[in-house]
Chain A
């Protein structure tokens, strides 16, 4: 120990013999050095907290705050690729509101998000309740549930594209051979039908996240509560609605919040399957913003389309956080 010195001192020994003898022994003790200036600074709690948080703050500032603020700035400029943008105030937003394709994308984004989220919640809850029971191969089934969520979106969507193909759809083949239809269904050839297909694929992909997270919530519910409710004469629905649901509500709200944010901002699935077609009937904010910002090189206009999401997402997030805190 380089910074310690040895000096003989009298100490009380644990050994009764040593105590009796009272012999002096040599032990090492740390030198009472004055802490350095940096050390003194770090001893202050608020300084230390700041230092420890700094890396996170830098990362957040660089990768979250800066792109976000840049996005806001772009949205109020007439920036195009290669030219500096000039401040145009809310002009881009006014242009959006006069654009029929944008208004359709606006409507589609809400329809897509709300229907898909509700379906994911309902089916995910059902799957979680089923998976919460004991049965053979339970672990295998639970693990395989996650597959749609794990597979890269582009890959799984390409598979769906084949299944919805106008000429070679496997669904059409099955339905035709089963005698259920007499002519093929054009899954992606009609605006409403195409939107239905997009929602179905989104539900297929996102439902496992709901199921597994809700399952985790269900496993925290004390079985004694169910037993007590059963003794009191509650039926299965009443046990779910009065016991299970209130207990897993916080986790459910968090899952819904995450899912809504992800679904609002969805891009890959729609871009691969329909690219916003036919006749711009399946554009959402993400796909339309990409077309305008990247393919027409109008970065400012594209950013303003993306940012239309922000106030709505903010309201959703604030409401849900408020609700969760109130529940706590």
Chain B
């Protein structure tokens, strides 16, 4: 395995020592101080803290999160409960909590949800600025989705990027010694692979993650965008048209024809069954392969989203945690987040995720886990190229509407099904104008 640019070896013990020292320096009181000093709880007896999280795709992540929450509870004398629900159920739960002004004190936010629910979220400016001061500035996408009208409405917690998982052995047989750096190069290799019965795989249905990853990343990669920085719809451009034409050709030459019927788990199954040679996904394919199909894990590598004429882009919404405005325990909630994001705790949680999540600041690119398994390095670097639906405009409510209507995804899907690329782009323009009206 070739050592990747930008990565350097760092011993975990040295890292933690440095992390601990930095954390100590940042402590000016509050729970970190209590924890460090093992002092008595600072909150009145009976104080409760309720946290709503998703069921992570990495079970160890949930276990560690709950363990840390319990540890905080013990140290701070707070009764902490963590509820885990499926990602699909988070939106209705958040809506009902905000509307009834009752529910968890801290709720997980995915992508631009802080913009959707801004009126129900408390400001966490102090926390965010404190962490940015300590760990360096947040990645741009983490910041953009969390800041609404110049106020931090959620504390960026991490990102879960998707890169290309690919069969290194099959790519070599097709003449690629490393993952192609541009979309055109990938098309050439993909064409050769499909001819050998090893197509690439990509979903174009209505699942939450994979179809959007393609639609947004490829559009930006070719220089297109749904809106311009001022928010005006700009999809109908020659750049977008090129992206659509490329996708139609890529579909025919390189991709498995099942993609229109796929959901977010179809490509995982197809890859692990050996029916496709590469696909865009989170690290979950690799993790499952390591556990259940070690021979596939051995020949699996990860590659960056290729560059197009417009550059290299990832559609990464990022994740944050929001303190709810209705909460009567806002102070405790903020202290928990401050304590959780403190380096010793966050280090453990990140280690439990084993490369599935990426920290919200470049500081965490130095985490030793990236050295432990170099196959995961593209995930670490993906956030540098991260953007959000709505880019280069704001990740607003309107961007959400365009997203849930799958306008960009359907633009590509309809072109794949035979609609003229020009008509598909025009259709998308019409729909986007309504969404951004």
Known contacts A81-B117, A164-B261, A294 near B95 by CB under 8 Å: yes
The residue in chain A whose Cβ has the minimal distance to the Cβ of B260 is: A189
Chain A residues with CB below 8 A from B94, complex form: 81
Chain A residues with CB below 8 A from B400, complex form: 295-297
The reply on A253 being an interface residue by CB < 8 A is no
The reply on A89 being an interface residue by CB < 8 A is no
Within 8 A of B (CB), among A182-207: 184, 186-191, 194
The residue in chain B whose Cβ has the minimal distance to the Cβ of A188 is: B261
Across the interface, do A190 and B260 meet the contact criterion of CB distance under 8 Å?
yes
Across the interface, do A275 and B206 meet the contact criterion of CB distance under 8 Å?
yes
In the complex, what distance in Å separates the CA atom of A80 from the CA atom of B417? 35
Contact mask for chain B residues 241-273; partner A; CB cutoff 8 A; 1 contact, 0 none: 000000000000000111111110010011001
Across the interface, do B261 and A187 meet the contact criterion of CB distance under 8 Å?
yes
The reply on A148 being an interface residue by CB < 8 A is no
Chain A residues with CB below 8 A from B258, complex form: 166-167, 184, 186, 189
Nearest chain B CB to A184 CB, angstrom units: 8
The reply on B35 being an interface residue by CB < 8 A is no
Chain B residues with CB below 8 A from A168, complex form: 269, 273
The reply on B118 being an interface residue by CB < 8 A is yes
Across the interface, do A291 and B404 meet the contact criterion of CB distance under 8 Å?
yes
Contact mask for chain A residues 274-302; partner B; CB cutoff 8 A; 1 contact, 0 none: 11111110000000000111111111000
The reply on A39 being an interface residue by CB < 8 A is no
Chain A residues with CB below 8 A from B406, complex form: 276-277, 279-280
The reply on B331 being an interface residue by CB < 8 A is no
Chain B residues with CB below 8 A from A291, complex form: 404-405
Within 8 A of A (CB), among B208-260: 211, 256-260
- A95, A165, A278, A291 interface centre (most CB from chain B within 10 Å): A278
In the complex, what distance in Å separates the CA atom of A190 from the CA atom of B259? 11
The reply on B46 being an interface residue by CB < 8 A is no
Within 8 A of A (CB), among B104-133: 116-120
Chain B residues with CB below 8 A from A165, complex form: 261, 266, 269
Chain A residues with CB below 8 A from B371, complex form: none
In the complex, what distance in Å separates the CA atom of A136 from the CA atom of B365? 70
Across the interface, do A81 and B120 meet the contact criterion of CB distance under 8 Å?
yes
Across the interface, do B413 and A297 meet the contact criterion of CB distance under 8 Å?
no
The reply on B91 being an interface residue by CB < 8 A is yes
Known contacts A100-B431, A164-B261, A291-B404, A275 near B99 by CB under 8 Å: no
Across the interface, do A82 and B120 meet the contact criterion of CB distance under 8 Å?
yes
Contact mask for chain B residues 184-207; partner A; CB cutoff 8 A; 1 contact, 0 none: 000000000000000000001111
Across the interface, do A276 and B206 meet the contact criterion of CB distance under 8 Å?
yes
Contact mask for chain A residues 163-183; partner B; CB cutoff 8 A; 1 contact, 0 none: 011111000000000000000
Known contacts A82-B118, A297-B116, A101 near B261 by CB under 8 Å: no
> Which of the residues B92, B120, B206 comes within 8 Å of A274, measured between beta carbons?
B206
Across the interface, do B414 and A279 meet the contact criterion of CB distance under 8 Å?
yes
Within 8 A of B (CB), among A61-114: 80-83, 95, 98-101
> Which of the residues A101, A164, A186, A293 comes within 8 Å of B260, measured between beta carbons?
A186
- A83, A165, A279 interface centre (most CB from chain B within 10 Å): A279
Across the interface, do B205 and A188 meet the contact criterion of CB distance under 8 Å?
yes
Chain A residues with CB below 8 A from B211, complex form: 277
Nearest chain A CB to B125 CB, angstrom units: 19
Within 8 A of A (CB), among B265-322: 266, 269-270, 273, 275
Within 8 A of A (CB), among B401-434: 401, 403-406, 409-410, 413-414, 417, 427, 430-431, 434
Across the interface, do A167 and B91 meet the contact criterion of CB distance under 8 Å?
no
Nearest chain A CB to B278 CB, angstrom units: 15
The reply on B98 being an interface residue by CB < 8 A is yes
The reply on B397 being an interface residue by CB < 8 A is yes
Q: Is the interface of A mostly helix, strand, loop or mixed?
A: loop
Across the interface, do A296 and B397 meet the contact criterion of CB distance under 8 Å?
yes
Across the interface, do B119 and A186 meet the contact criterion of CB distance under 8 Å?
no
Chain A residues with CB below 8 A from B204, complex form: 278
The residue in chain B whose Cβ has the minimal distance to the Cβ of A95 is: B434
Chain A residues with CB below 8 A from B404, complex form: 291-292, 295-296
Chain B: interface residue total (CB-CB under 8 A): 45
In the complex, what distance in Å separates the CA atom of A151 from the CA atom of B198? 38
- A98, A187, A291, A294 interface centre (most CB from chain B within 10 Å): A294
Chain B residues with CB below 8 A from A276, complex form: 206, 406
> Which of the residues A82, A274, A279, A296 comes within 8 Å of B119, measured between beta carbons?
A82
Known contacts A189-B257, A189-B260, A100 near B430 by CB under 8 Å: yes
Chain A residues with CB below 8 A from B261, complex form: 164-166, 186-189, 194, 278
Chain B residues with CB below 8 A from A294, complex form: 91-92, 95
Known contacts A188-B205, A292-B404, A297-B397, A278 near B413 by CB under 8 Å: yes
The residue in chain A whose Cβ has the minimal distance to the Cβ of B95 is: A81
Chain A residues with CB below 8 A from B263, complex form: 161, 275
Nearest chain A CB to B101 CB, angstrom units: 10
The residue in chain A whose Cβ has the minimal distance to the Cβ of B121 is: A82
Nearest chain B CB to A205 CB, angstrom units: 20
Chain A residues with CB below 8 A from B92, complex form: 294
- A98, A101, A297 interface centre (most CB from chain B within 10 Å): A297
Across the interface, do A167 and B266 meet the contact criterion of CB distance under 8 Å?
yes
Known contacts A277-B206, A295-B400, A167 near B269 by CB under 8 Å: yes
Nearest chain A CB to B261 CB, angstrom units: 3
Nearest chain B CB to A200 CB, angstrom units: 15
Chain A residues with CB below 8 A from B430, complex form: 100
Across the interface, do B266 and A297 meet the contact criterion of CB distance under 8 Å?
no
Nearest chain A CB to B204 CB, angstrom units: 6
> Which of the residues A81, A100, A167, A190 comes within 8 Å of B116, measured between beta carbons?
A81
In the complex, what distance in Å separates the CA atom of A272 from the CA atom of B436? 28
The residue in chain A whose Cβ has the minimal distance to the Cβ of B93 is: A294
Chain B residues with CB below 8 A from A184, complex form: 258
Across the interface, do A81 and B98 meet the contact criterion of CB distance under 8 Å?
yes
Chain A residues with CB below 8 A from B413, complex form: 277-279
Nearest chain A CB to B326 CB, angstrom units: 10
In the complex, what distance in Å separates the CA atom of A195 from the CA atom of B426? 25
Across the interface, do B405 and A280 meet the contact criterion of CB distance under 8 Å?
yes
Nearest chain A CB to B355 CB, angstrom units: 26
Nearest chain B CB to A104 CB, angstrom units: 10
The residue in chain B whose Cβ has the minimal distance to the Cβ of A99 is: B434
Across the interface, do A278 and B260 meet the contact criterion of CB distance under 8 Å?
yes
Nearest chain B CB to A141 CB, angstrom units: 34
- Besides the known contacts A82-B118, A277-B260, 9 further A-B residue pairs in the complex with CB atoms under 8 A apart: A81-B116, A82-B119, A99-B431, A165-B269, A166-B261, A277-B410, A291-B404, A297-B116, A297-B400
Q: List 10 A-B contacts (CB under 8 A).
A: A81-B95, A82-B99, A161-B263, A166-B266, A194-B261, A275-B206, A277-B207, A278-B205, A279-B260, A291-B404
The 6 closest A-B pairs by CB, nearest first: A166-B258, A277-B206, A82-B119, A189-B261, A189-B260, A275-B206
Residues of A within 8 A of B (CB): 80-83, 95, 98-101, 161, 164-168, 184, 186-191, 194, 274-280, 291-299
